Amino acid sequence: MQKLNTLTILTLVSAIACIPVEKETGETDTGTDEPTPDEDCTNGTDDDGDGDADCDDSDCADATECAVETSVAWTSTDIALTITNGDAAATYNWGIAENAGDCVDNGWCWTGEDCHLGYTVGTTGQTHTAGDVLQYCHPASVTGVTIAYGAQNQIAEEGQTTVFSNDSFSPNVTYILDNAASTEAETCWVWGIDPTYYSGYTKTCTEM
Ligand SMILES: [Ca+2]
Ligand SMILES: [Ca+2]
Ligand SMILES: [Ca+2]
């Protein structure tokens, strides 16, 4: 009797397990196959819940509205670089090269900031390599940097002064902005009088 009862119970359980469960009409499926919402790059919200909203989300890296943009303003006392949509995790270095004007007319020009060669913070605030090639950039925050005019030939305090003495250089220069912390081989931007200037130094940059 004991054995019969156990068998009966097992049979009943098996039968119940095989009965299809009907869903109520209009029931919402709350299973895990719910599609993850896409990140809208302009609505100020972390749509896909990964902790990063809009341009901070890697899903928006290629979005037009999240592209890095720059602008430069020359005043009577300084030069201000403004970066829009900069990557907060980036290490930006900004270089200015005079490659028109005197360079063309007189065969001489200010040598520019050889930012394309790389940048290493030295103990004296400047970095030289063998052959006295000055490797020089202006470190910039995610929003840019302002540098004051200097007029010290080929000597400049990092992030503070440059050899430019006035804004007459403004139409004669090419700029380079390098993201030194990027994991990509070459992440830089160029703009100014000759956006192709740095291609001669094997840099492949996005033109602004
Ligand atoms: Ca969003
Ligand atoms: Ca997100
Ligand atoms: Ca995301």
**What are the distances in angstroms from CA 137 to CA 9, 18, 108, 132?**
82, 73, 21, 15
By the 10 Å C-beta count (0-12 exposed, 13-18 middle, 19+ buried), 137 is classed as: buried
If you average pLDDT over residues 164-190, what whole number do you get?
Answer: 79
Is the per-residue pLDDT at 22 higher than 60?
no
In the structure, what pLDDT confidence band is assigned to residue 132 with cuts at 50, 70 and 90? very low
CA of 42 to the centre of ligand 1 (A): 6
Region for 141 from its dihedrals, namely left if φ exceeds 0, alpha if ψ lies in -120 to 50, beta otherwise: beta
CA of 79 to the centre of ligand 3 (A): 36
Neighbours of ion ligand 2 (CB under 5 A): 39, 46, 48, 50, 52, 57
CA of 182 to the centre of ligand 2 (A): 21
pLDDT at residue 159, as a whole number: 38
CA of 61 to the centre of ligand 2 (A): 12
**What are the distances in angstroms from CA 49 to CA 59, 72, 90, 154, 203?**
12, 36, 23, 50, 37
Closest CA to 137 of 114, 167, 162, 164: 114
Q: What are phi and psi of 120, to 5 degrees?
A: -135, 130
Per-domain boundaries in the chain: 35-66, 70-207
